[in-house]
Structure 1
Amino acid sequence: MAAFYVTMKVSEEENPMRAYIQTNNNGDFYNVNAFIANEGFSSLGWETIKFFDLREIQDNSPESLLVGGIGNVRKRLEQLGCGRTQGEIDYPNALAGYLGRKVWSTTINELFQDKESWNVFIKPKDTTKKFAGTVVKEYIDFIGLVEENEDTSIWCSEIVDFKTEWRCFIRYGEILDIRRYKGAWDSTLDASVIEKAITDFKDAPAAYGMDFGVDQEGNMKLVEINDGHSLGSYGISSVNYAKFLSARWSELTSTTDYLRAL
């Protein structure tokens, strides 16, 4: 079905608490995260407006939050003059002691030429989601990753066989919720380790995801950190998800977080 664009003009005086929620070209929420966000913001009294293409949005208020794919959210922030200055935060130096494995940076081409360093997990370093994190063990694993005219910066990590992995939603330096997203349901998570890591991550954003895993020997290790502006809901309640997204958006746009007191 061909995309259908509608230009919307909303008065900024009507309600400063406004969220634009991304849809597909049929007008349905583009994924479960958009649906959950809409439920959360609506229940908290926010005005929610669907959009399919950023060109539909004529509202230039930085307070008007946007929920969507990472590309759309970052493009919207740039349009508002609120580009991120911190960069990616996958493996902060302050949390290196929680990794429990060797993690280093290189490029795709450099790794490809160094066969002795294969059998590692890799992910993009400077461009989030340029490709999905993957394990490279042989030549075939590099297909689609090696580019003729561009050398992509990547993170390399020793492979860990995690028994269970959890996503911890951190908001204003406190645990908002913890959700298991992979592995055995009966593993034990030591919350004190997470709380210590939060304390150590002194330059953390207002809202972010801290993923921890337990390996086959029962050791807790930090999987990675994820920025909160486009983070998936992973089963978190709709109200908490709205609070989480609002915290990071308001920080990035230097605007008021109307949900901070909740």
Structure 2
Amino acid sequence: MKAYIQTNKDGEFYNVNAFTAYEGFKNFGFEVEKFIDSGEISDNNPEHIIVGGILNVRKRLQNLNIIRENKEIDYPAELKAYLKRKIWDSTINETFNSKNWNIFIKPQTETKLFAGKVIKNEMDFVGLIDPENDIRIWCSELIDFKTEWRCFIRYKEILDIRRYKGEWDKKIDLKIVRNAISAFQSQPRSYALDFGVNENGETILVEVNDGHSLGTYGIPPYNYAKFLSARWSELTQTEDYLNF
């Protein structure tokens, strides 16, 4: 088996995620080949996994004629009870005109259009308003999360949990995490549940992220390789050779 892993122009792995993936796949006996732009890969074998930035991964899927839904997972209807806040569909222009601010917004379909951000005044819309392309977004009421944790889920089991923001001594409620996994019937083979803990110690779902090109947040190489392999095999409808 082969893993294509993204590098920079100097041939160095483009970030720690790529290096971690290299360590993981190499240890599992995969042949590793470096690339800069996935559009330059001539190999048409969908079993061969690709590790890189989200745009490169999705370009590779497109070049393999593999169709995935444009919308991100974000806020599954099955997990609405775990969000503990109002979340609604809108557009940049609608939100600007509504003056309903002091909210968090993020793009619905193209994650690289802009980073999710808090909107408090008109200046926060700078660079976002385009009369000819009114971007669809998710809007969310604000919650003051004291700590945020990423839960890596693989085949409906917790693979690892890593704190990525906030106070180290605020712990998430694992019972809530496990209940959310059980409730998420349409879940992919690998994905991340991001949970936050507020000032009252409540464990609240921040969002859900697809598993095809997530960062490591410090998980071991062997787990990272297994996590990526699970989602790639699902997207390409091929065998997951690391399903053990």
Shorter-chain TM band: over 0.9
Report whether the alignment pairs 1:181 with 2:177.
no
Unpaired segments of 5 or more residues in structure 2?
none
The reply on whether 1:98 has 2:78 as its aligned counterpart is no
Q: Distance in 2 between matches of 1:58 and 1:125?
A: 31
Secondary structure at the counterpart of residue 3 of structure 2? strand
CA contact (8 A) 1:21 1:50 kept: yes
Is the Cα contact below 8 Å between 2:13 and 2:19 reproduced in 1?
yes
Question: Aligned residue for 1:220?
Answer: 203
Distance 2:84 2:90 in 1: 19
TM (norm. structure 1) is 0.91
Partner SS, residue 89 of structure 1: coil
Aligned length: 244
User: Is 1:152 aligned with 2:135?
Assistant: yes
Distance 1:75 1:55, change over 3 A: closer
Deviation at 1:128, TM superposition (A): 1.6
Query: Once the two structures are superposed, what CA deviation does each residue of 1:231-260 show, in whole Å capped at 9, x if it has no partner?
Result: 111000000000000000000000000000
Question: How far apart are the structure 2 equivalents of 1:78 and 1:87?
Answer: 15
Residue of structure 1 in register with 2:52 after alignment:
68
The TM-score, its normalising length taken from structure 2, stands at: 0.98
* In 2, Cα distance between equivalents of 1:121 and 1:86: 21
Amino acid at match of 1:76: R
Helix, strand or coil for the counterpart of 1:35?
helix
Q: Which residue of 2 aligns with 1:252?
A: 235
SS at match of 1:21: strand
* Residues 74 and 83 in structure 1, CA contact (< 8 A), matched pair in contact too: no
CA offsets per residue over residues 15-62 of structure 1, 9 Å max, x none?
Answer: xx1100000111111111101000100011111110012243221100
- Single out whichever of 49-58 and 173-182 deviates more from structure 2: 49-58
Bigger-Rg structure (1/2): 1
Q: Does 1:169 align with 2:162?
A: no
Q: Is the deviation greater in 187-196 or in 250-259?
A: 187-196
Contact 1:65 1:249 survives alignment (8 Å): yes
1:190 to 173, 187, 191: 173
Partner of residue 46, structure 1: 30
Instruction: Read off the aligned partner of 2:12 and give its amino acid letter.
Output: D
CA distance in structure 1 between the aligned counterparts of 2:69 and 2:123, rounded to whole angstroms: 36
1:201 aligns with 2:184: yes
Cα distance between partner residues in 2 of 1:243 and 1:130:
29
Matched position secondary structure for 1:223? strand
Q: Select 2:5's aligned residue among 21, 34, 37.
A: 21
How many percent of aligned residue pairs carry the same amino acid? Answer: 61
RMSD across aligned positions (CA): 0.9
Unpaired segments ≥5 residues, structure 1: 1-16
> Which letter does structure 1 place at the counterpart of 2:237?
S
Q: Which moved more, 1:48-57 or 1:160-169?
A: 48-57
Q: 1:86 to 1:143 in 2, by over 3 A?
A: closer
Q: What stretches of structure 1 move > 2 A for 4+ residues in a row? A: none
Q: Does the CA contact (< 8 Å) of 2:71 and 2:108 recur in 1? A: no
Aligned-partner SS, 2:212: helix
Q: Provide the residue aligned with 2:215 in structure 1.
A: 232
Is 2:107–2:137's contact at 8 Å kept on the other side of the alignment? yes
